[in-house]
Amino acid sequence: MVEEIGTTDKGELIINVGPQHPATHGVLHLVITLDGETVRKVEPHLGYIHRSIEKMSESLSYRQFIYATSRMDYLSAHINNHACAMAVEKGLQLEVPERAQVIRVLMGELTRIASHVLWWGAMAMDIGAFTPFFHAFREREMINDIMEESCGARLTMNYMVPGGVMYDIHPNFHRRVKEFIAQFKRKLPEYDELVTGNTIFRARTRGVGVLSKEDAISYGCSGPTGRASGVDCDIRKVQPYGIYDRLDFRQIIGKEGDTYSRYLVRMQEMRQSLHIIEQLIDNIPEGDFQAKTKAVLKVPKGEYYSRVETARGDFGVYLVSEGGLTPYRIKYRSPGFSNLSALDHTVRGQKIGDLVAIMGSFDLVIPDIDR
């Protein structure tokens, strides 16, 4: 246990960053050891927002437990729900209608864009530029409006049910998404102008916080954080689910593994997500939006695993059923936790300002880490 206040015997300062700190975006608590401005050690302390979602899920029915995961990585609530719904569908061997599949992917990609857009603003804010945050929210707001109309909520959408989606899409959905595509295509170059091309931003991120491919693999980094280091880990490509195997999109892989390449990977991913949405929006098939299911679901005895690519990486649901009304045991594999574990290794020897930039580029969502 590190002494909470004071200095080490080498005369290094020990500082608590968080649980209330502007850069941790939530209640993450980092105990950092500083030698002047240089970070010697980072020790994350977790548990401030632990709600024991896994245990709670054991007492919720197969229809209900899905929505607990909305409260984990709240920025990709949709995609988390998708993984849970898929685990239950595997157990029940449900065939999901084509229309529902397309809607799920559409919503998932919109969520991914919304999440990345928010990350973009927050990352710029961590580095000290305020204005991008508000520009990011302008686009995020459009997606939230789309979600609100079709799902009834803006943040924790709770739209997925085993066998499809809860309601059919709103009549305005098509028009609104089209509007969003047009707007976002116009604004993306502006994002690049405002942040990507900025000399100060490049100086702050290039070569900062390099995570090698080997380290990324050994820490279990996934999502844009892993891919920026060159790990080929996009679940949508590696282990396609839903209709992703039929879609045309690229897996974005970076080389350097520094903060800048993590930034670029996410910027490119937004374009790929937009491309996926463009392919699907005019081709939503007619038909049911939900498979016929029994009123009370009972998943046969067995173990089921499903994984999806959330905005932060590889999200896995491991579901053990004893054949009862509720899951026997649930284990979630959250991307944020593994990504956070690489933080100490990446930050050592960098400056305090870099710590903030690197944390921003990892795109940590604290409820996802603590669960």
Partner 1 sequence: MQHMWNFAQLTDLIHGWLYETFPPAWALAFEMIIVGIAVIGLFAGLGLVLVLMERKVSAFMQIRLGPNRVGPKGLMQSLADTLKLLVKEGMTPDGVDRFLFNLAPFIAMIAAMLLMAPIAFAKDFQIWDLNIGVLYVTAISSLNVIAILMAGWSSNNKYSLLGAMRSGAQIVSYELSAGLSILTVVVLTGSLQISDIVTAQSNGWWIFKGHIPVLIAFVIYMIAVTAETNRAPFDMAEAESELTGGFHTEYSGMKFALFFLAEYINVFIVCAIGATLFLGGWMPLHIGEWTAFNGIMDWIPSSVWFFGKTFFLIFLMMWFRWTFPRLRIDQLLNLEWRYLLPIGMVNILLVTVIAILKWHF
Nearest of 60, 61, 108, 103 to residue 83 by alpha carbon: 108
Q: Is 194 or 221 the residue whose CB approaches partner 1 more closely?
A: 194
Q: Is 113 or 356 the residue whose CB approaches partner 1 more closely?
A: 356
Q: Is 259 or 261 the residue whose CB approaches partner 1 more closely?
A: 259
* Cβ–Cβ < 8 Å for 16, 29: yes
What is the Cα–Cα distance from 343 to 42, expressed in whole angstroms? 7
Query: Where in 330-369 is the site for partner 1 (CB under 8 A)?
Result: 351-356
Q: Is 370 in the site for partner 1 (CB under 8 A)?
A: no
Contacts 24+ apart (CB under 8 A), 146-150: 146/110, 146/173, 146/176, 146/177, 146/180, 147/107, 147/110, 147/111, 149/173, 149/176, 150/107
Q: Is 23 in the site for partner 1 (CB under 8 A)?
A: yes
Is the N-terminal amide bond of 132 cis, ω within 30° of 0? no
Which of 51, 134, 183, 323 forms a contact with partner 1 (CB under 8 A)?
Answer: 134
Among the candidate windows 73-81, 199-207, 221-229, 312-320, which touches partner 1 by CB under 8 A? 199-207
Least separation in angstroms between residue 140's CB and partner 1 is: 13
What is the Cα–Cα distance from 290 to 163, expressed in whole angstroms? 6
Phi first, then psi: give them for residue 144, nearest 5 degrees: -60, -40
Least separation in angstroms between residue 267's CB and partner 1 is: 15
What is the Cα–Cα distance from 126 to 121, expressed in whole angstroms? 9
Q: Is 138 in the site for partner 1 (CB under 8 A)?
A: yes
Half-sphere exposure (CA, 13 Å, Cβ side) for 120? 30
Least separation in angstroms between residue 100's CB and partner 1 is: 37
Q: Is 210 in the site for partner 1 (CB under 8 A)?
A: no
Q: Is 125 or 342 the residue whose CB approaches partner 1 more closely?
A: 125
Query: Where in 32-91 is the site for partner 1 (CB under 8 A)?
Result: 34, 37
Q: Is 26 in the site for partner 1 (CB under 8 A)?
A: no
Which of 2, 8, 12, 13 forms a contact with partner 1 (CB under 8 A)?
Answer: 13
Q: Is 201 in the site for partner 1 (CB under 8 A)?
A: yes
Q: Is 62 helix (H, G, I), strand (E, B) or coil?
A: coil
Strand partners for 31: 16, 43
Mark residues 110-129: x for contact with partner 1 by CB under 8 A, - for none. Answer: --------------xxxxxx
* Cβ–Cβ < 8 Å for 314, 193: no
- Residues lying near partner 1 in the complex (CB under 8 A) are found at 13, 15, 21-23, 34, 37, 124-131, 133-135, 138, 194-195, 198, 200-201, 203-204, 351-356
